[in-house]
Amino acid sequence: MATRLSGPVTRVEGLTRRFGDRTVLDGVDLEIRRGEFVALLGRSGSGKSTLLRALAGLDSGTGGRLAVEGTVAVAFQEPRLVPWKRVAANVALGLDVPDPAAAARAALAEVGLADHGRAWPLTLSGGEAQRASLARALVRRPDLLLLDEPFSALDALTRITIHRLVLELWARHRPGILLVTHDVDEALLLADRVLVLADGRITHDSRVDVARPRHRDHPELLALRAALLTALGVTPEETP
Amino acid sequence: MSTSSLDLARPRARIRLPRPRLPRAGARLLSPLVLLAVWQLAGSTGILPDRLLAAPDTIAATAVELIRDGTLPEAIGVSLRRALVGFALGAAVGVGLALVAGLSRFGENALDPPMQMLRALPLFGLIPLFILWFGIGETPKVAIVAFGVAFPLYLNTFAGIRGVDGKLAEVGQVLRLGRAALVRHIVLPGALPQTLVGLRQSLGIAWLALIVAEQINASSGLGFMINDAREFLRTDIVVLGLLVYALLGLVTDALVRSAERRALAWRRGFLAR
């Protein structure tokens, strides 16, 4: 592909979403540039998954403006592999390239599952299934990759390795990423930019200009952590 | 390395089904063999007269004789054909209607209410009507089987389609599957386990319906053979006919179960590990 413009891969203006008389999104403005890794924090029920679903094209009930340039791929909280398709067939599902099987093999090799293409999804561990889900998203060469808390159900050790994997894959393919999470440390370790969604709006937006790999007790990250926790409504003294 | 350290933290939840301790095969065979021996003894000594229940050796001899002269194979052939044709018709109608009703709201509104109403009709109560409509040839027998088969398949396939995980349907949407691909890759395979439950139910009904239908005005087939034997107090042939019915039912059920094992390998893999 020719040189890519570094313009926004998605632009959201005044996005609203109501469920009955409850307003979940109340005029969200958001721009994600190509290749930018953005983390979206929010308490549970803050509407962060609602925003992600809107970007994924899964919600037709929103108001406001929403534009996405190029292809979008999603990795959900549960890997959502289709259980009656083998892992490779899951990755290749709906893939519109000349040789989907070869593309799926390559994608599985990239996430360290080269030997698992013939496996049934229900025989995978949680970490393996989440890797397969990442492969299924990345094989589409997305311009925007939406990650909906994909690490939250993993155990701590698996989570560390998948964090590294996501950073590796992001560095190689450079999709814009929107990572929805409720884990402040995760957001600070991974993202270029951290947003907080509260009361239906983006209430906090800060850049994280710390070189990777990051260590969580880097002074700048600690300062940001305190600010983010305040933005999330948790006073820093409360935290251990 | 990210890949190698992953193995440390592999929380593989294996589901191990408790294996019931089966008594040895020999122990389980004992009581049927004793029963058989008692039955044989009662027959041979004349305590159990032939006109009530023929002895096992008589039944076995009759079986050999009827197989040799072609009566039994021909009767089985006729009955099997009725069952198969009726089953195929009923399955086509049941699954076809379930697809229409399951895949569109309009289809559901149009088809589901009449199907639910018809389902309430007692199958064997329809026989007089079927005889009036279709006469006393092959058609009413096939129609009764088809009618009995259609409903379990309709209900289960319909429920299976509607029960497909909405989260997987969203995956299809995100992967930009068109409607046809969504149906093919997500909806139909998702409905399959439930459809197979319906298939087994409907096969049971198929045999039952056939047995009842064959009691009426049959001039060939297993039912005719049994009825004819009753006229002459030939309990050996009656019992033989019943055994053949049972055997046919077992064989078809085994066929479906083997198809099930193959079609649902993705599930078995999970449980068998």
CB contact under 8 A, A57 and B3: no
∠ CA B43-B248-B93 to the nearest 5 degrees?
A: 145
CATH architecture of B55-272: Orthogonal Bundle (1.10)
pLDDT at A236 over 80: no
Give the pLDDT score at B2.
41
Interval B188-209 mean pLDDT: 93
The minimal CB distance from B266 to the residues A73, A83, A93 is found for A83
H or E segment to which residue A204 belongs: strand A201-207
Give the pLDDT score at B17.
62
Q: Which of A35-44, B10-19, B223-232, B259-268 is the least confident region?
A: B10-19
At position A48, the amino acid (one-letter code) is K
Closest Cα to residue A68, out of A26, A32, A17?
A: A32
CB contact under 8 A, A158 and B175: no
CB contact under 8 A, A84 and B192: yes
Cα–Cα distance between A132 and A122 in angstroms, integer? 12
pLDDT at B4 over 80: no
Name residues 81-140 of chain B within 8 A of A (Cβ): none
Closest Cα to residue B7, out of A233, A131, A209, A192?
A: A131
- Show me where the domains of chain B are located: 55-272
pLDDT at A68 over 60: yes
Question: β-strand A8-19 against A22-33: which pairing, if any?
Answer: antiparallel
Q: Quick one: chain A helix, strand, coil %, rounded to 5?
A: 35, 25, 40
Taking CB atoms and an 8 Å cutoff, what residues of chain B touch A58? 170, 173-174
- Rg (C-alpha) for chain A, rounded Å, is 18
Cα–Cα distance between A11 and A69 in angstroms, integer? 9
CB contact under 8 A, A78 and B270: no
Quote ipTM for the complex: 0.88
pLDDT at A226 over 70: yes
Give the pLDDT score at B215.
82
Interval B224-249 mean pLDDT: 93
Q: Which residues of A87-112 are buried (b: 16+ CB within 10 A; e: fewer)?
A: bbbbbbbbbeeeebeebbbebbebbb
Give the pLDDT score at B22.
56
What SS3 state is found at A33? strand
Interval A40-45 mean pLDDT: 90
Q: Which residue of B has its CA nearest to A168?
A: B2
Give the pLDDT score at A10.
93
Q: Which residue of B has its CA nearest to A138?
A: B175
Percent of chain A with pLDDT over 70: 95
pLDDT at B174 over 80: yes
- Rg (C-alpha) for chain B, rounded Å, is 25
pLDDT at B99 over 60: yes
Percent of chain B with pLDDT over 90: 73
Give the pLDDT score at A41.
95
Interval B99-126 mean pLDDT: 93
In this complex, is the C-beta atom of A134 within 8 Å of any C-beta atom belonging to chain B?
no
Mutation site for B-interface testing, chosen from A52, A71, A84 by largest number of B Cβ within 10 Å: A84
Give the pLDDT score at B265.
87
- Show me where the domains of chain A are located: 1-71+142-153+164-235, 79-141
Q: Are A46 and A197 in contact (CB under 8 A)?
A: yes
In this complex, is the C-beta atom of B180 within 8 Å of any C-beta atom belonging to chain A?
no
Q: How many angstroms away from the CA of B166 is the closest CA of chain A?
A: 11
> For A72-103, how does the pLDDT look when each residue is reduced to its tens digit (9 = 90+)?
999 999 999 999 999 999 999 999 999 999 99
CB contact under 8 A, A112 and B174: no
Give the pLDDT score at B28.
85
Give the pLDDT score at B216.
78
CB contact under 8 A, A84 and B9: no
> Residue B132: pLDDT band by 50, 70, 90 thresholds?
very high
Give the pLDDT score at B152.
95
Percent of chain A with pLDDT over 90: 81
Average pLDDT over chain A reads 91
Q: Which CATH number fits domain A1-71+142-153+164-235: 3.30.1360.20, 3.40.50.1970, 3.40.50.300, 3.80.30.20?
A: 3.40.50.300
HEC string of chain B equals CHHHHHHHHCCCCCCCCCCCCCCCHHHHHHHHHHHHHHHHHHHHCCCCCCCCCCCHHHHHHHHHHHHHCCHHHHHHHHHHHHHHHHHHHHHHHHHHHHHHHHHCHHHHHHHHHHHHHHHCCCHHHHHHHHHHHHCCCHHHHHHHHHHHHHHHHHHHHHHHHHCCCHHHHHHHHHCCCCHHHHHHHHHHHHHHHHHHHHHHHHHHHHHHHHHHHHCCCCCCCHHHHHHHHHHCCCHHHHHHHHHHHHHHHHHHHHHHHHHHHHHCHHHHHHHHC
Cα–Cα distance between A77 and A181 in angstroms, integer? 10
Closest Cα to residue A197, out of A187, A208, A210?
A: A187
CB contact under 8 A, A122 and B269: yes
Taking CB atoms and an 8 Å cutoff, what residues of chain A touch B266? 83-85, 120-122
Q: Are B165 and B190 in contact (CB under 8 A)?
A: yes
